[in-house]
Amino acid sequence: MRIMAIDYGDARTGVAVSDITGTLAGDAWVIKGRRAEIVADAIADAARDRGVERIVLGYPLNMDGTAGPRAEKSLELCDMLAERTGLDIVMWDERRTTVAAHNILSENGRRGKKRKESVDAVAATLILEGYLNSLK
């Protein structure tokens, strides 16, 4: 089963897709866009093109576990994706994935604009890896 993970952001949304067996994180990229409808359409198209069977959407809870404005935006995107794809959408606690992504990129010499352009794709990959590991 191919699985797609999403790190939804205000200006950029990270996307990562597993291999066909659903065991390894593979392709990752960023969708640029501020309107949720446009982002949802791009994700739905990519999911269809890649034969995705499940979407894991990052759920940005506050550190105390409560849902804030970002979490509400993710729930709205969840509804749009479910409508556009007909797929199961799994909400996944993504706390600290963006921080971890920044650390990974920094450790590998990515600075400034290069890091900013890829951090969301790395965060989506971390969400995907966390979810895949939970299935084992």
Residue type, 87: L
Full-prediction pTM beyond 0.85?
Answer: yes
Distance separating alpha carbons of residues 41 and 111, to the nearest angstrom: 31
Instruction: Find the mean pLDDT for residues 7-31.
Output: 93
CATH number at residue 94: 3.30.420.140
* pLDDT per position as a tens digit, 45-84: 999 999 999 999 999 998 898 998 999 999 999 999 999 9
Domain that holds residue 122: 2-135
Domain tally for the chain? 1
In percent, the amount of the chain with pLDDT more than 90 equals 68
Q: Give yes or no for a contact between 132 and 25, defined as CB atoms under 8 angstroms apart.
A: yes
Instruction: Find the mean pLDDT for residues 18-47.
Output: 94
Tell me the torsion sign for CA atoms 114, 115, 121, 122: positive
Q: Of 108, 136, 135, give the one whose Cα is nearest residue 122.
A: 108
